[in-house]
Chains A and B, each alone.
Chain A
Amino acid sequence: KAGVTQTPRYLIKTRGQQVTLSCSPISGHRSVSWYQQTPGQGLQFLFEYFSETQRNKGNFPGRFSGRQFSNSRSEMNVSTLELGDSALYLCASSPQGPMNTEAFFGQGTRLTVV
Chain B
Amino acid sequence: GQQLNQSPQSMFIQEGEDVSMNCTSSSIFNTWLWYKQDPGEGPVLLIALYKAGELTSNGRLTAQFGITRKDSFLNISASIPSDVGIYFCAGQLSSGNTPLVFGKGTRLSVIA
Which of A's residues lie within 8 Å of B, judged by CB?
4, 6, 33, 35, 42-43, 45, 48, 55-56, 58-59, 90, 92, 98-108, 110
Count of chain B residues near A, Cβ 8 A: 23
- Produce 1/0 per residue, B76-112, CB < 8 A to A: 0000000000001010100001111111110000000
CB–CB A105/B44 < 8 A = yes
Residues of B within 8 A of A90 (CB): 42-43
Minimal beta-carbon separation of B90 from chain A (angstroms): 8
Residues of A within 8 A of B90 (CB): 43, 103
CB–CB A107/B42 < 8 A = yes
Which of B's residues lie within 8 Å of A, judged by CB?
1, 31, 33, 35, 40-45, 48, 88, 90, 92, 97-105
Question: With the chains together, A102 CA to B33 CA distance in Å?
Answer: 7
CB–CB B97/A103 < 8 A = no
CB–CB A103/B45 < 8 A = yes
Residues of A within 8 A of B40 (CB): 107, 110
Q: What is the chain B residue whose CB lies nearest that of A104? A: B45
Residues of B within 8 A of A59 (CB): 1
Having A55-B97, A99-B98, one finds 10 other A-B pairs with CB under 8 Å, namely A42-B105, A43-B102, A45-B99, A48-B99, A90-B42, A90-B43, A99-B92, A100-B92, A107-B41, A108-B42
15 pairs from A and B in contact (CB 8 Å cutoff): A4-B42, A6-B42, A43-B88, A45-B101, A55-B97, A56-B97, A56-B98, A59-B1, A99-B92, A99-B98, A100-B92, A102-B48, A107-B42, A108-B41, A108-B42
Residues of B within 8 A of A100 (CB): 92, 99-100
